[in-house]
């Protein structure tokens, strides 16, 4: 029950101020899967990836930022959509970390 309450509280938070921290928790591969699950085309996702980097965190930040923008344009709460998508993809450890980030500011 406590986890459910945490999920509800966390999903009503504005995700934008926490994009960098959330991107770091997710990593490129998970964020890529979230984007694909949400309808992004792989070719579009690839445009965020710079192959000359060793650290893909900035690429992940940019993809997450675009994902949040598109979710909000569709009228969705980005935090809620992210938590639900991570759950659907069975990335429960990542979901729990994102909820912790969001809950720390709720």
Q: pLDDT tens, position by position, for the chain (106 residues)? A: 345 545 555 567 888 999 999 999 999 999 999 999 999 888 788 887 776 666 678 899 999 999 999 999 988 789 989 999 999 999 999 999 998 888 876 5
Could you tell me if residue 98 is inside a domain?
yes
Query: What was the pLDDT predicted at 8?
Result: 55
Distance separating alpha carbons of residues 31 and 22, to the nearest angstrom: 10
Query: What was the pLDDT predicted at 26?
Result: 96
Distance separating alpha carbons of residues 95 and 106, to the nearest angstrom: 16
Could you tell me if residue 50 is inside a domain?
yes
Could you tell me if residue 9 is inside a domain?
no
Could you tell me if residue 8 is inside a domain?
no
Dihedral over Cα of 85, 56, 22, 24: its sign: positive
Query: What was the pLDDT predicted at 98?
Result: 92
Query: What was the pLDDT predicted at 63?
Result: 93
At 78, is the secondary structure helix, strand, or coil?
helix
Distance separating alpha carbons of residues 2 and 8, to the nearest angstrom: 10
Could you tell me if residue 83 is inside a domain?
yes
Could you tell me if residue 2 is inside a domain?
no
Could you tell me if residue 7 is inside a domain?
no
- Which structural domain range is residue 79 located in? 17-103
Distance separating alpha carbons of residues 92 and 89, to the nearest angstrom: 8
DSSP calls for 6-37: HHHHHTTS--GGGHHHHHHHHHHHHHHHHHHH
Query: What was the pLDDT predicted at 6?
Result: 52
Note the residue count of the chain: 106
pTM equals 0.84
Query: What was the pLDDT predicted at 53?
Result: 64
Could you tell me if residue 1 is inside a domain?
no
98: CATH: 1.10.533.10
Instruction: Report the number of distinct structural domains present in the chain.
Output: 1
């Amino acid at each position: 029950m406590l986890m459910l309450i945490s999920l509800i509280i966390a999903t009503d938070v504005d995700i934008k101020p926490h994009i960098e921290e959330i991107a770091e928790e997710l990593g490129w591969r998970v964020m890529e899967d979230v984007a694909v699950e949400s309808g992004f085309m792989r070719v579009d996702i690839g445009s965020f990836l710079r192959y000359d980097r060793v650290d893909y965190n900035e690429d992940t930040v940019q993809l997450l930022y675009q994902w949040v923008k598109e979710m909000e344009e569709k009228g969705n709460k980005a935090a809620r959509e992210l938590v639900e998508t991570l759950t659907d993809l069975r990335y429960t450890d990542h979901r729990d970390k994102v909820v912790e980030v969001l809950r720390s500011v709720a």
